[in-house]
Amino acid sequence: MFYSDKEIAGAIDHTLLKSEATEKDIIRLCEEARHYGFKAVCVQPYYVSLCAETLKDTDVRVASVVGFPFGTNSTEVKILEAQSAFVCGAREIDMVLNISALKNNRIEEVCADIKSVVNVSKDYPGTIVKVIIETALLSKEEKIKACDAVIQGGADFVKTSTGFNGGGATVEDITLIAGIVGDKARIKASGGIRTRQQAEALLRAGASRLGTSGGIKLLNNNY
């Protein structure tokens, strides 16, 4: 399947989550997203208001992170983070699943954690929740449990990686996730996506969003 520049750009969450990012960097991120037609910008909570203001007359959505990057914040803290991000103008939340709880097989806790953030999103029409399962840290069995928890928690997307804990999106993982979630959730591939060839392969495997800080180079790299 061939993907046009517009189709690929429309799947990209243009991402800048580095702690050293400056206001100038974030404004540039927003300007690039507007120019190239990216789906969203994804930034740390501190910059949500700036992005919302900069992009207010565009179709580019603002995404922010919750429980980032380890997922072990208490549920109460994640709820507050989500509420704050939505109030400041975020339309999308990328929350990190409680990986430690998952590995302890406390699946009910994992589901409840996700559901609590999803419930917050219901107070803000048009918003969505993506759940980062951090595939590089999970066995195949754990990936299956994580995807099931995302579905049970009612989130909109399974997302592969934070980009901060090693590994990244692979076709193998996207294929596995797609087989589990079916039409019950969408998939965001993230981490290590640097070429157009990678992007197209991940989209073909079942991803509908691509989280990357290299979207511009990706679009200009035909193979």
Q: How far apart are CA 82 and CA 103, in angstroms?
A: 24
Number of domains in the chain: 1
Which of 13, 94, 113, 173 is catalytic? The answer is: 94
pLDDT at 223: 52
Q: What is the DSSP string of 135-189?
A: GGG--HHHHHHHHHHHHHHT-SEEE---SSSS----HHHHHHHHHHHTTSSEEEE
Whether 25 is catalytic: no
Neighbours of 112 (CB within 10 A): 16
What is the reported pLDDT for 142?
Answer: 98
In degrees, rounded to 5, the angle at the alpha carbon of residue 142 between the alpha carbons of residues 138 and 144 is 120
Residue type, 80: L
- Output the pTM of the full model: 0.97
Whether residue 90 contacts residue 48, with contact meaning beta carbons closer than 8 Å, is answered with: yes
| Nearest CA among 125, 96, 128, 91 for reference residue 113 | 96
CATH number for the domain including 65?
3.20.20.70
HSE on the CB side for 24, CA within 13 Å? 0
Structure confidence at residue 175 (pLDDT):
98
The pLDDT assigned to 77 comes to 98
Domain hosting 25: range is: 5-220
Q: Tell me the mean pLDDT per 10 residues along the chain, length 223.
A: 93 97 98 98 98 98 97 97 98 98 98 98 98 97 98 98 90 98 98 94 98 94 63
pLDDT of residue 167: 83
pLDDT at 160: 98
What pLDDT sits at residue 13? 98
Q: What is the pLDDT of residue 222?
A: 61
Report d(CA 19, CA 150) in Å as an integer: 27
- Cα dihedral 169, 36, 92, 74, rounded to 10, equals 50
Residue type, 84: S
Question: How many residues would you count in the chain?
Answer: 223
Considering the candidates 39, 143, 145, 159, report the single residue annotated as catalytic. Answer: 159
| Cβ–Cβ under 8 Å, residues 86 and 56 | no
